[in-house]
Amino acid sequence: MSTHQATSQKEAWHPRSSGRSGAAFRIADWLTAAILAVLLAAVLLFVVFTPVSVKSSSVSDFFSGDLVFADRLFKHVVGFARGDAVVYKAKEGASVVRHISRVAAFGGEKVIITGGRLYVDGALVDDSAYAEPLPEAITAEFTVPTGSLFLLPDEREALSGSDIARLTVAETDVVGEVRFIAFPITRLRFFS
C-alpha cells in the first residue's frame, strides 16, 4: 500500500469533523434535541395532563383565573384518595362544564350527612383542614353507586339538600386529579 493511500484513509471526511460542516451538524443536533423536548413536553402537558381554566372555584386551593393541570392517567393506575381535588365534567343545559371538587366517598360506601357532619361507612370524616362544615340543615343518607364518586366542594355554606344528589358523579366523568397550578406563575404549586 502506498503512502498516499494510507494518508487518504486517515483523513477520510466525517460529518462531525471540524470546520463549517461540523458546526452545521452541531446546530442540527441541538435543533433536533430542542424539537424532541418540545414534543415530549406537549405530550406530557396535553396527553398525560389536561389543562383546565378555573372559572369559579369551590375548592380552597384554587382561585378564579388559575390554570391547573389534571392528571388523566394516574386515576387508572392508583385511583383517588379521599380529599383529592379532582376535575369532573357536568352537563349544564346543552353544554358540558368542568368543575373542581374533592373526593368525599367512593362507590359502595354509605354516606350519612347530619348535624353539619359527614360520615362515611359510620366513621366521621374530618375535612376541617380544607373545607367548611356542611350546613346543619342538610340531612341525607345514601350509598354511593358502584362506579361513582361522591364529591363535595370546600365552600359548603350555600349547599342545600337538593344539591347532594348532583354531587354523585360517575367515575367516567372524572377527568383526573389536579396535579399543579401553572398560572399565574406567582401561584405555581404542585400537589401530590
The pTM for the full model equals 0.70
Distance of alpha carbon 179 from alpha carbon 44, whole angstroms: 12
Is it the case that residue 144 has pLDDT exceeding 90? yes
CB atoms within 10 A of CB 119: 16
Is it the case that residue 20 has pLDDT exceeding 60? no
Is it the case that residue 82 has pLDDT exceeding 80? yes
Domain ranges of the chain: 3-47, 54-185
Q: Is the distance from CB of 150 to CB of 105 less than 8 angstroms?
A: yes
Helix, strand or coil, per DSSP, at residue 66: coil
CA distances from 150 to 49, 65, 166 (A): 23, 26, 9
The mean pLDDT of 159-188, rounded to a whole number, is 80
The mean pLDDT of 74-93, rounded to a whole number, is 79
Name the percent of the chain in helix, strand, coil, to the closest 5: 30, 35, 40
48 exposed, middle or buried (CB, 10 Å; 0-12, 13-18, 19+)?
A: middle
Which superfamily does CATH assign the domain made up of 54-185 to?
Answer: Umud Fragment, subunit A (2.10.109.10)
Distance of alpha carbon 66 from alpha carbon 71, whole angstroms: 16
